[in-house]
A = this chain, B = another copy of it.
């Protein structure tokens, strides 16, 4: 019969009331009252009403930062995949709580916006990490970093939402597969040519000697300004 700590009681009361009356119809006073504490105590444990639902986004942000930091240049892309898996596992660990939160964010616009803002912070971390990793200050590289980061979080969110909706039995395998697909979109820097899509095989026969052809081939492959 011993009471759980106030922080837990507040969260329980909040979710229960949100389910009963809806988010906007529930005041902080209501939550505090049902939890059996004062209004002040609520704001001591949670910075805002929304914070009851998103308690540890800061911690998750740190988690991502730390995981990305512990990676060498060679293992950068692996680190990205690992980090995404880590974030997904974090949500899965929350289990039913994550699903109740999803039900709320699906209905209340203010909460959806808040969720999106948090995700944007993750994306920013990935973007900065990838940009650092590429080390290339050109505008083209900057765009690529932006795109890669957008893909990474989009893939994660896609799988996460599938799991939240109960559409995925093995989300970890799915996210790994999705990340492979994402990273395949971006050919490694050493690749021969522009990402033109697909594989082109040219077979031809000529009487010319191979050495005579090489200069033309080289020009084609290296794609200089001359046509």
Contact = CB atoms under 8 A, between A and B. Distances in A.
Interface of A: 112-114, 116-117, 120, 139, 142-143, 146-147, 149-151, 153-155, 157-158, 162, 178, 181-182, 184-188, 191-206, 210, 213, 217, 220-221
Most buried by B among A112, A146, A155: A146
A99 B206 CA distance: 59
A14 to B, nearest CB: 21
B196 A184 contact: yes
16 contacts: A112-B117, A113-B117, A113-B120, A116-B120, A117-B117, A143-B155, A143-B178, A143-B181, A150-B151, A184-B195, A185-B197, A193-B198, A195-B198, A196-B199, A200-B201, A203-B210
Contacts of A155: 143, 146-147
Given A201-B217, A213-B203, A220-B201, A139 B162 contact: yes
Given A158-B143, A181-B143, A197 B200 contact: no
Contact of A221 (B143, B195, B201): B201
A92 B200 CA distance: 40
A184 B191 contact: no
Nearest to A151: B147
Given A143-B178, A162-B139, A200-B200, A185 B195 contact: yes
B204 A203 contact: yes
Contact of A182 (B147, B199, B205, B213): B147
Given A113-B114, A147-B151, A192 B182 contact: no
Nearest to A174: B139
Given A146-B154, A197-B185, A197-B186, A205 B206 contact: yes
Contact of A194 (B150, B184, B195, B221): B184
Given A113-B114, A143-B155, A162-B139, A201 B202 contact: yes
Nearest to A202: B201
